[in-house]
């Protein structure tokens, strides 16, 4: 790949929407390296929906883009306390372990990839001053509107949810990116950044958006709903069980989580191997013709295996009821296990990762009244006051993240 136009087409292919793509075109035409960031808040357990942005990041890296993965620890506890502050540091480490191993399992080149923890710069004097400047010009209405699709909406919202969009906008400046990448659910925050960063004297960035992949039961795939998603570390029997229960009506291609996953993840990964010319064909049968990217195996009495070289043909076959939902579920299960097995194997072989997992997602406490601890006088132990500004509630995030800007090779 040599021309700026070819690189741009690779960067934007398969996306749902691109805002201000001319910014990227100009940088490529000048022969400079394009820089982007993709952020994730370490809250719930990561699910296989993460394959969607990570697969797209493979395109960015192939096009020579320098990619920063933001592990947004500060965002994690600002979003309506989705992640308790004492667990954020552990979940951040868990996410990094996982993301590194996903990239490794996909064979994605990572020389232009780095990980950054949000608290390494979001607690700085300069960043907070910019946040105050935003607070002085952003209305409550605009802040609430910007976060409507991302920040958890409740009847009596916390002030932290109003700060969230401003932080995400400022991240573009402090991470030095040319474009921010995310799902189309981030669009309102992206347009918020487009409007307000220039008002602080900072450059406007481009914004690239993926389609959202529905969950197994239809609707948005959610970390908080175990029935809508598959965990990266789910054992094979759980994966098979969840896919077996997935909504997949015969001939229905609308809101079909299995077809959406195949389109957004399986086909692009198969195509990635073809473009590399590495001879790896992870999702096809041994007898599949050259150029095939996905196989649906069927008994000979039902017509035998079907091989597809593109997603559109698979979707059409399912719509025409040439593929039974049970056969699609079996094929999807096989593809998912092919993707998940090396990640789970890496987890099982890493004592450090397993320790972090136990700390990040401890089992829920058993119901029942806790006994009050006694001290020497026989009186109930005093309850410590809640942490205030500058105490462990914030310092714990910063102190636990010593080595926080890490290249993917370290």
The pLDDT, as a whole number, for residue 147 is 87
pLDDT in tens, 157-171: 778 888 989 999 999
The pLDDT, as a whole number, for residue 405 is 34
For 190-203, what is the mean pLDDT? 97
**Please, where in the chain does CATH 3.40.50.620 lie?**
4-210
User: For residues 176 and 95, what is the distance between their CA atoms, to the nearest angstrom?
Assistant: 22
| Predicted TM-score of the model (pTM) | 0.83
Does position 310 have pLDDT exceeding 70, yes or no?
yes
Please name the residue that has the structure tokens 């462990």: 392
Please name the residue that has the structure tokens 């010593």: 402
For 9-32, what is the mean pLDDT? 97
Where would I find the beta strands (DSSP E) of 298-384? 306-308
The pLDDT, as a whole number, for residue 222 is 55
DSSP class per residue in 276-306: HT----TTS-TTPPTT--EEE---GGGT--E
pLDDT in tens, 107-122: 887 777 899 999 999 9
- C-beta of residue 172 within 8 angstroms of C-beta of residue 192: no
The pLDDT, as a whole number, for residue 166 is 95
The superfamily in CATH containing domain 236-360 is Tyrosyl-Transfer RNA Synthetase (1.10.240.10)
**Please, where in the chain does CATH 1.10.240.10 lie?**
236-360
Q: How confident is the model at residue 353 (pLDDT cuts 50, 70, 90)?
A: very high
Q: For residue 216, which phi and psi values (nearest 5 degrees)?
A: -65, -25
The pLDDT, as a whole number, for residue 82 is 62
Task: Kindly give the interhelix angle for 4-12 and 22-29, rounded to the nearest 10 degrees.
Answer: 150
Task: Kindly give the interhelix angle for 236-245 and 325-348, rounded to the nearest 10 degrees.
Answer: 150
At 197 the three-state DSSP class reads: coil
- CATH architecture for the domain at 4-210: 3-Layer(aba) Sandwich (3.40)
The pLDDT, as a whole number, for residue 116 is 96
pLDDT in tens, 217-255: 665 555 555 666 899 999 999 999 999 999 899 999 988
């Amino acid at each position: 790949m040599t021309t700026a136009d070819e690189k741009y087409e690779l960067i934007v292919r398969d996306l749902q929407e691109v805002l201000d793509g001319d910014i990227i075109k100009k940088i490529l035409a000048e022969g400079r390296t394009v820089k982007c960031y993709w952020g994730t808040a370490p809250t719930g357990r990561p699910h296989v929906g993460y394959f969607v942005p990570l697969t797209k990041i493979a395109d960015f890296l192939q096009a020579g883009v320098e990619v920063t993965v933001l592990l947004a620890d500060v965002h994690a506890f600002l979003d309506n306390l989705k992640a308790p502050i004492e667990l954020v540091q552990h979940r951040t480490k868990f996410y990094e372990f996982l993301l590194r191993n996903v990239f490794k399992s996909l064979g994605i080149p990572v020389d232009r990839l780095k990980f950054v923890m949000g608290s390494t710069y979001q607690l700085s004097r300069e960043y907070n001053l910019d946040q105050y400047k935003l607070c002085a010009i952003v209305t409550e209405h605009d802040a609430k509107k910007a976060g409507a699709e991302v920040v958890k909406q409740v009847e009596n919202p916390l002030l932290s949810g109003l700060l969230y969009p401003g932080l995400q906008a400022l991240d573009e400046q402090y991470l030095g990116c040319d474009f921010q990448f995310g799902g189309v659910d981030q669009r309102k925050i992206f347009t918020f950044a487009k409007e307000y960063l220039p008002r602080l004297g900072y450059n406007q960035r481009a914004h690239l958006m993926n389609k959202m992949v529905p969950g197994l039961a239809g609707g948005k795939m959610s970390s908080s709903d175990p029935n809508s998603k598959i965990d990266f570390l789910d054992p094979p029997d759980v994966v098979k069980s969840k896919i077996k229960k997935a909504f997949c009506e015969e001939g229905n291609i609308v809101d079909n989580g299995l077809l959406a996953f195949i389109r957004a993840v399986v086909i692009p990964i198969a195509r990635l191997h073809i473009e590399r010319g590495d001879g790896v064909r992870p999702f096809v049968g041994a007898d599949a013709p050259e150029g095939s990217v996905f196989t649906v195996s069927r008994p000979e009495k039902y017509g035998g295996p079907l091989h597809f070289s593109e997603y559109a043909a698979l979707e059409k076959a399912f719509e025409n009821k040439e593929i039974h939902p049970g056969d699609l579920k079996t094929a999807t299960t096989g593809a998912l296990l092919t993707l998940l097995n090396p990640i789970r194997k890496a987890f099982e072989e890493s004592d450090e990762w397993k320790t972090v997992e136990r700390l990040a997602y401890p089992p829920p406490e058993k119901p029942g009244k806790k006994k009050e601890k006694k001290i020497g006088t026989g009186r109930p132990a005093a309850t410590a006051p809640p942490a205030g500004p500058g105490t462990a509630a914030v310092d714990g995030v910063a102190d636990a993240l010593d080595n926080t800007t890490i290249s993917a090779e370290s």
